[in-house]
Amino acid sequence: MRTLTQLISILVISMFIIFITTFFLQENMLNDNKMQHANIPNKSSKVAKYNNKDNMIKLEGYVVSVDDERFNNVKLLLNALGIEIHQHVPHAYDSEVVLKAIEEFPLGWDLDIKIRGKCMSNRMAFFDLVHNFANDKNAKNTSWRLIFEDDADLHPSLKPSQAQEAIQEGLILAADDGALFMGVCMPVNCTDNRTLTDSSIVAGKCTGICAHALAFTKWKAKIIASLIDELLQPGNPHRTQNFDEMLQFYSIEHKILALGLNLKSPIPDVYEHYGLFFQNRGKFPSFINEGLQL
């Protein structure tokens, strides 16, 4: 028979084994639970990326401008938002290439040649930017490119840091659509309205017009480039010489996320302009709109 001492030793060893086994079982259950939670997608994780400077989307853009003062004014603003800016100089309104384009695109009504030339030059500049991006072999399909007109200005209610964060969040939210309005005119049929994280800025997917503050991914630029070519074909009932009208036509069936739907332009003589950026026609008047009496 075993002695009392042996029985006590066996009991102690058995209790120790039970303790160790229980400890490791609990530890494994805890780790499994952590893994399960780690695999549950956090709805705000993608949006929260803009708060981390290491995860910020690289921003590169172009400003359509023939005027150095106007370009430098916009460049200074956009550089403060972390956007690398380049100037895209459109053709002179009375240049041979513009006059030839006018001849190939009759409007059917009379319009001052200077105004017509400026409209055509503006359209050609946007077309060039879209086509150049679509064919840029150094750009990834998912990369973004921002396009501005040289009268774009930041809404006075916003600080640069707020606008920077809103753009970053907007690009994440618009990644599946590949297009973004940072300023929009006459937005209609807006859906999926939301308030951006840590701000009072409202965003929603809309049909809209205006091209003073846009962003495209490369893959979307390819689609827009094809649309441009299609809408320029003679006989197309939607044929137009204006890029912003082409964009509006596209957004009827493919709504574009617009940032700042609650931020109305502070310029009193413009109609239904909203966004992070507005057209500062008080500081930089529009010759085209003055001539067209819009």
Alpha carbon distance 241, 158 (integer Å): 34
Length of the chain: 294
Q: What is the pLDDT of residues 144-177, one digit of tens each?
A: 999 999 999 999 999 999 999 999 999 999 999 9
Order of strands, edge to edge, in the sheet holding 256-259?
83-88, 59-64, 144-149, 213-217, 179-181, 256-259, 202-209, 183-195, 273-275
- Contacts for 94 with CB less than 8 Å, ≥ 6 apart: 113, 114, 117
pLDDT tens, residue by residue, 190-235: 999 999 998 899 999 999 999 999 999 999 999 999 988 888 888 8
pLDDT at 98 over 80: yes
Do the Cβ atoms of 177 and 220 come closer than 8 Å?
A: yes
Question: What count of other Cβ atoms lies within 10 Å of the Cβ of residue 138?
Answer: 5
pTM above 0.85, yes or no: no
Contact 107, 241 (CB under 8 A): yes
DSSP for residue 174: T
Residue among 221, 251, 45 nearest 141 (CA): 221
Residue 107: predicted pLDDT: 66
Range in 32-41, 197-206, 258-267 the model is least confident about? 32-41
Q: Which two tokens stand for residue 178?
A: 């590949």
**Residue 241: per-residue pLDDT:** 78
Whole-angstrom Cα distance, residue 37 to residue 157? 40
Q: Read off the pLDDT of each residue in 67-88 and give the average, rounded to a whole number.
A: 96
Strand pairing category for 152-154 and 277-279: antiparallel
**Least confident range of 4-18, 46-60, 110-124:** 4-18
Q: Helix 113-134 crosses helix 96-103 at what angle (to 10 degrees)? A: 100
46: exposed, middle or buried (Cβ count in 10 Å: 0-12, 13-18, 19+): middle
